[in-house]
Amino acid sequence: MSALRLECGYTSLNKKGEELCGDKVEIRRNGKMTTLVLADGLGSGVKANILATLTSKILCTMVSEDIDINDCVETILQSLPVCKVRGVAYSTFTVLHMSEDGKGWLFEFDNPAAILIRDGKCGDMNRKELNVCGKKVYKSDLDLKEGDVIVTMSDGVIHAGIGMTLNFGWQRKDVLAYLESTVRPEMSARCVAWLLAAACNDLYLDKPGDDTTVLAVKVRKELRVNIMVGPPVDKSKDDFYISRFLSGEGKKVVCGGTSSQIVARYLGKKVEARFDFPDKDVPPIGYIEGIDLTTEGVLTMRRLLELSEKYLSPTDLTPKYFTKKDGASLLAELLFEEASDITFFVGQSINKAHQGLPIDITMKLKLVESLSQNLVRMGKNVEVNYD
């Protein structure tokens, strides 16, 4: 039975005219547990951002250290600065504390109720009302199964379209119906969050009347990907290097012309080149029987790094899935949307074909380093081997 992995992602819209978002998401992994906090500060702009930042950071730190939730809430109430205009210190919040296999709890205070997506259907969580430090809060015990998604949000979602495209905002039943009709089983948590936030932006006619944040968490099956980038320095170790790259379960990706030739020779196959250009800036892909994806090296990796920056941006509203068939887009779909565990096999041999070009081994290593850092920020388990 394949292991399970917990993945998460969020997207935020700033209120029209504000440089800072009044919502804040904080994520912390401590051992096998992951803590996520979505906080929504009172008002908008700088004040709201400060309230939300303090709330999310304090809660995330304390909860991840297994401090009692009553103590966490009391600390929040005593720590937040008081608004001079309204005379109150206030921030709503949603807290998730979960293991990799989806066991844990959900704690909600004044944010819209979380949504559970299971088997393509949306429903409410089994919430229990509690009184903590005089505040009405709701707790839900979690025991999720593979494929389950929890969607949490700030009130900018249910306010979407008020006085513009809708009279009374986006009703919860309509949000549920939208998610049921658009979310597909293969979508990542980040893709689900983007999908709902982008719909809110459309209802706001690209001018959000409130800070809007969607945070999604998904329990998914493990998928391992081995990716080879360049041949090793010592040619006598080619076979050992390739056998290690090909070992184990999961998908196999080869980046680079020389690497492709070495792998094909080891497998007793040929590299079949394609000459179509789905993207004029990305070299065409190739095919090796037994290898899931074969691409060019540095130029494709450079474009992949650009795609990873956009994918990670919480304010970017471009789609979080990739339908184009160029090498970088195919790699992005595999690594960003599908993979849970990624192992790089980075050969440090100097490519003679790059002599005289502004491409060297240092550039390749920096690309791999930056890309692996971004993959870790996406919540992937990443290992890099240098040969």
Name the pLDDT band for 66 (thresholds 50, 70, 90): very high
What per-residue confidence (pLDDT) applies to 351? Answer: 59
Share of the chain above pLDDT 90, in %: 74
Helices (H), 65-211: 69-79, 172-182, 189-203
d(CA 156, CA 22): 10
Two tokens, residue 316: 């970017």
| Candidate from 46-55, 68-77, 137-146 with smallest mean pLDDT | 68-77
Residue 373 pLDDT level (bands cut at 50, 70, 90): very high
Number of other CB atoms surrounding residue 269 within 10 Å: 14
Sequence-distant (6+) residues with CB within 8 A of 358 are none
Cβ–Cβ < 8 Å for 150, 124:
no
Model confidence pLDDT, tens digit, residues 188-246: 999 999 999 999 999 999 999 999 999 999 999 999 999 999 888 878 888 888 999 99
Tell me, what's the pLDDT at 32?
87
Contact 311, 336 (CB under 8 A): yes
> What's the pLDDT at 236?
81
User: Which of 29-33, 59-63, 74-78, 84-88 shows the lowest mean pLDDT across its residues?
Assistant: 84-88
Q: At a CB cut-off of 8 Å and minimum separation 6, what does 51 contact?
A: 22, 39, 41, 42, 80, 81, 89, 90, 91
Higher pLDDT, residue 81 or 12: 12
Which pTM does this prediction carry?
0.90
Task: Specify whether the CB–CB gap between 140 and 125 falls below 8 A.
Answer: yes
pLDDT at site 342: 97
Tokens 């709330």 -> residue: 55
Task: Name the percent of the chain lying above pLDDT 70.
Answer: 94
pLDDT confidence of residue 352 = 56
Q: What is the pLDDT of residue 213?
A: 97
The number of beta carbons lying within 10 Å of the beta carbon of residue 254 is 28
Tell me the CA distances in angstroms from 216 to 1, 191, 207, 221, 357, one per residue in order.
25, 9, 23, 16, 44
In the chain, the amino acid numbered 184 is R
Cβ 115 vs Cβ 105: under 8 Å: no
Predicted pLDDT at 362? 80
Q: What is the pLDDT of residues 131-175, one digit of tens each?
A: 888 888 999 999 999 999 999 999 999 999 887 777 777 999 999
Assign 261 a pLDDT band (cuts: 50, 70, 90). Answer: very high
Mark out the alpha helices in 65-188 (DSSP H runs).
Answer: 69-79, 172-182
CA distance 387 to 241: 8
Angle subtended at Cα 387 by Cα 287 and Cα 232, rounded to the nearest 5 degrees: 50
**What are the structure tokens assigned to 125, written together?**
């969580």
Using N-to-C axis directions, what is the helix angle for 361-377 and 298-312, rounded to 10°? 30
Convert 85-95 to b/e letters by CB count within 10 Å (16 or more is b): eeeebbbbbbb
Which pairing describes strands 149-153 and 212-221: parallel, antiparallel, or unpaired?
antiparallel
User: Which residue in 79, 56, 54, 96 sits closest to 133, CA to CA?
Assistant: 79
Contact 196, 312 (CB under 8 A): no
- Of the ranges 204-213, 262-271, 277-286, which one carries the lowest mean pLDDT score? 277-286
**Residue 86: band (very low, low, confident or very high) from pLDDT cuts 50, 70, 90:** low
Domain at 4-220, CATH from 3.40.50.300, 3.40.50.2300, 3.60.40.10, 1.10.10.10: 3.60.40.10
- Do the Cβ atoms of 323 and 362 come closer than 8 Å? no
Boundaries of every domain in the chain: 4-220, 224-386
Supply the mean pLDDT for the chain: 91
DSSP 236: G
State the first-to-last Cα distance of the chain, in angstroms, to the nearest integer.
Answer: 32
State the average pLDDT over residues 247-251: 91
**Range with the lowest mean pLDDT among 87-101, 217-231, 282-296, 367-381?**
87-101
